[in-house]
Amino acid sequence: MLRILATLGASPWYWLALLVFGLSMEAVALYYQYALEYWPCVLCIHVRIWVAGFILVALLALALRRSRPWRIVLHLLTVVLSIGLLERAWMLLGVERGTVEGSCNLESGLPGWFALDVWFPSVFKVWEACGYTPQLLFGITMAEALVALGVLLVLATAALTLATLSVRSV
């Protein structure tokens, strides 16, 4: 089983799927923002940043996947990105359900050297305070879907990372 997972983790198809997944998530977010006028809050923007990280790592991995040391580093980065995405999604769900109180304002909280909200305002600018997320299919909110996706990503990326570390000859 580990060998199968390690082979999958070395495959360009895995990294391409991760790239398409990230681009699709960003496209859905922008569709909800610009077509349906659900303006993003600071936590939504943070989720977008974590997803952008997946896109960048997938692009790097497509170029560097034949190098085992780079593949290990990139797999470890996907685990970190998955955990970060899950944490922001969990916080978003908590704010939506009223179980988490925090300062959810109109500031992105990004440092000046990483001012994505200034460089790419059409994607990363905070437009409203946190509160609720739109419903997707079957009455599931975007926050609930993001938590579920975050859990799946943590499990999948951890399994692929462990397999990549365990199997030497892929």
Whether the CA torsion 37, 39, 44, 50 is positive or negative: it is positive
pLDDT digits (tens, 9 = 90+) for 120-167: 888 888 888 887 788 888 888 999 999 999 999 999 999 999 988 888
How far is the C-alpha of 119 from the C-alpha of 164, rounded, in Å? 36
> In the prediction, which pLDDT does 10 show?
83
Place of tokens 């360009």: 12
* Residue 76 in this model has a pLDDT that exceeds 90: yes
Q: Look at residue 70 in the predicted model and tell me its pLDDT.
A: 93
Tokens of 51: 């997803």
Q: Where are the alpha helices (DSSP H) in 98-130?
A: 116-119, 121-124
Angle at CA 141, nearest 5°, toward 137 and 146? 105
Instruction: Answer yes or no: is pLDDT of 79 > 70.
Output: yes
The larger pLDDT score, comparing residue 117 to residue 68, is at: 68
**Domains of the chain as residue ranges with CATH:** 2-165 (1.20.1550.10)
Task: Kindly report the pTM of this predicted structure.
Answer: 0.89
- Residue 102, pLDDT above cutoff 70: no
Average pLDDT over the chain, rounded to an integer: 89
pLDDT given for residue 34 in this prediction: 93
